[in-house]
Structure 1
Amino acid sequence: MNIIHTDAAPTPRGHYSQAVEHNGLVFVSGMLPELGVIDPGTHDFMQQAEAVLRQCEAVLAAAGCRYADVVQATVYLVGVENWAVFNDVYSRFLGTHKPARVVVPVPALHHGYAVELQLIAALPNGRNAM
């Protein structure tokens, strides 16, 4: 098992890693917009979604992956009215790649944010992370 960490994404504020690689799969922890950089009171949903996707992209890169390697995504959204906006932002980052996905509407997320994203990716060519 390899712990994945990059300074290009927020340092976890709890007892977990940004991501863990095991047996050729990369498990990216649930990612919120970066606290202190993206303020949920002044940044709209689109800005929060873009921040989360950039952060996840950085963690994937640290593991040697890209969005094209993602096999499953779990999205937590505050307010189903944000679903269409998230779809638009998500499709810009993932392009034509369409991994399995679940969207879970929730009443609230930590620190007042409106989106959290968790990913599972397969390392290219079944190799192990560095």
Structure 2
Amino acid sequence: MSKQVISTEAAPGAIGPYSQAVEAGGFIFTSGQLGINPQTGEFGEGIEGQTRQSLRNVQAILESVGAGMDQVVKTTVFLKDMNDFVAMNEVYSSFFSQPFPARSAVEVARLPKDALVEIEAVVLKK
């Protein structure tokens, strides 16, 4: 099995030894995306803004290879504070429609750059 690295300037570049995403075995696996605007380098405002930007970054990565959010089969949401779940979920729901992807949401002690949220996705390539 081969793997192909996916990279786009429409999402923040990797800040370590990893790829924005990798395509392998008919799936696309994104790395966790922080809510950083790739043009300004700034975080979105609050949990809502960071969630929106995180998902926009996932979307940009997918669009760079002709895929879309409707192909997402699984996401993992890492939250700095589980008390932000409801607000995150409200924004999250605007990016997906039925049938919704499977999802896990977990609270973590700390995220890179002290982000409030990080989201990764597994996508079925058409």
The TM-score normalised by the length of structure 2 is: 0.90
Partner of 1:38: 43
Partner of 1:128: none
Partner of 1:118: 120
Matches within 5 A, 1:1-130: 1-34=3-36, 36-38=41-43, 43-124=45-126
Letter in 2 for 1:66: G
- State the percentage of identical aligned residues: 35
Q: Which segments of 5 or more consecutive residues in structure 2 lack a partner in the other structure?
A: none
Letter in 2 for 1:85: A
Count of residues paired in the alignment: 121
> 1:65, 1:86 → 2: CA distance?
23
- Greater alpha carbon shift after TM alignment, 115-124 vs 102-111: 102-111
Conserved? CA contact 1:71–1:121, under 8 Å: yes
Conserved? CA contact 1:52–1:116, under 8 Å: yes
Q: Which segments of 5 or more consecutive residues in structure 1 lack a partner in the other structure?
A: 125-130
